[in-house]
Each structure stands twice: as C-alpha cells, then as structure tokens.
Amino acid sequence: MKRKSIFLAECTDAEVAEYLKGGNTVIVPIGATEQHGPHDPLGTDSIIAQEVSERLARRLGALVAPLIPYGVSSEHRGFKGVSYVTAATLAILVQDVSRSLAEVGFRRIILLNGHGSNTPAIASTARELRDDLPPGTLVIPLSYTDGLGPEQAANYIGPKVGFHANIGETSAVLAVDETVVDMSKATPFNPDWPMTDWVPAWGVFWNSAPDLIIRITPTGTWGDPSGSTKELGLTFLQQIEDGCVQLLANVEKLNERFPPR
C-alpha cells in the first residue's frame, strides 16, 4: 500500500486535491549550492532548509514542495564548489512557484530560506506578490534562524562563533546525515579584521564585494567547526523548529489583528 507522504513530489494529483479539502499550507525550501569549507558539503544550506521544512510540515500539517537548490551565492565566487543564480532569477522563480501553488488552492505559502544572501530577493518578492494572488493568500518569507532568540542564535551563528561552515551549520548537517561531513578536515578560521568593531561595517562591505568570502577566508570556513557534534545539531534543529512554529503562530495573530485591505 502506498504510504501517505508530506512531500508534494511524492503525492498524486488526487492526494493533493484531498489534502486541500482540509489543509492550505505548503512549505518551499530554498537553499544554495556553495562551498562550506573543506569539511561540509556544497548542499549544506539546502540540507538544513529541507530538514527544517520537514519538521515544520509535521508540526503545521503542511506539505513540503520540492527544494530550490540554487541561491544568490555570488559572494563565493573564486571557489570551485559554487553555482548560483542572480537575485532577479531567484525572485522570478519564487514568484512563478508561489503563483502556481496559490492557483491550485494553497493559501499559506512559506518560503523557508536556508541561505542568508537569498533573504532580500525572497522578502521583496513575497511583498510584491500580494496583489497577484487570490484573496486570503499569504506568502511568508522565513529564514530558519528567524525563530531563534538572540542568546540561542549566538551559540550557533554570529560574530562570536562565525557565520559559515561553523559549529552551527556543521552540527546541523551532522544531525541530518553525518556521512556527508568530514570532521577530520574541520579546522577553525577567523578573518583577520583590521578593526575591533568590524560588525557595523560588515553589511556595507558584504553588499559591495561579490567575491568577499574568498577574500576574508581562503579556506571557506568562518568560525570553529571542530567542536561540532550530531547531538549539538539535534538541539539546534529542535530550537529552530520550536522557535519557527511559535513565530508563524504570531504572524497569523498579527494578520488577524491587522488584516490585509
């Protein structure tokens, strides 16, 4: 007997029609294909986005659409393990996918983002789509770290622990599939900043330097992944799951209080 699946790609047309009689939510994982140091796989952002999407779908009674595996990753130019799209291309793809999902009846379309540089394209697209979609349809851009509190986030990603192929990302991938991580090559690297207060200038520098990662970290690692473990990753993913579920519930409350005109 065919098992019931939360994955849109594994459902038949009739099964989706049946789901839409009582459900209305679909999660679209959006990742990237880019280097993550000598130890993590190119699909790190996609692996995490897919895992978080599956966890949220089970909590929300949603379906999971096929992953979009390419992101806005030009900041990794110079490394061999990167293939990317422009922000305009990602925006058009997200627009088309969202429109088609809304057309068949989904009214909550969650764009679950696993790569930071995708955020501007996804967020602006979600806002601009509103007038093109059936009444009552919400397109919700959500990066998986959005549900974490400041103290939680600081343990996994940020100025103190690094932003790329670090302890947070590496541990999360270990929790999903430890066979794709080579911990023997997980070594720390932190950029040699020319000032102690580099954080305020970081955003402007980021946006003006398309190949910046190879300029600040020749290994591709930013942080210390050597302490990464599967157990830490499971804790990280659970915190992400719980935080995102609560965040989405609060978004619904805000939409109820301040309904679209």
Q: How does pLDDT run across 116-147, given as a tens digit for each residue?
A: 999 999 999 999 998 899 999 999 999 999 99
Report whether pLDDT(102) > 80: yes
Average pLDDT over residues 48-64: 98
Instruction: Tell if the pTM clears 0.85, that is, is over it.
Output: yes
Are 73 and 32 within 8 A, CB to CB? yes
Are 34 and 71 within 8 A, CB to CB? yes
Q: How far apart are CA 170 and CA 199, in angstroms?
A: 23
Share of the chain above pLDDT 90, in %: 94
- By DSSP bridging, strand 108-113 and strand 138-143 are parallel
Report whether pLDDT(261) > 80: no
Are 6 and 155 within 8 A, CB to CB? no
Lowest mean pLDDT among 68-72, 209-213, 225-229: 209-213
Predicted pLDDT at 63: 98
Both tokens assigned to 71: 């992101």
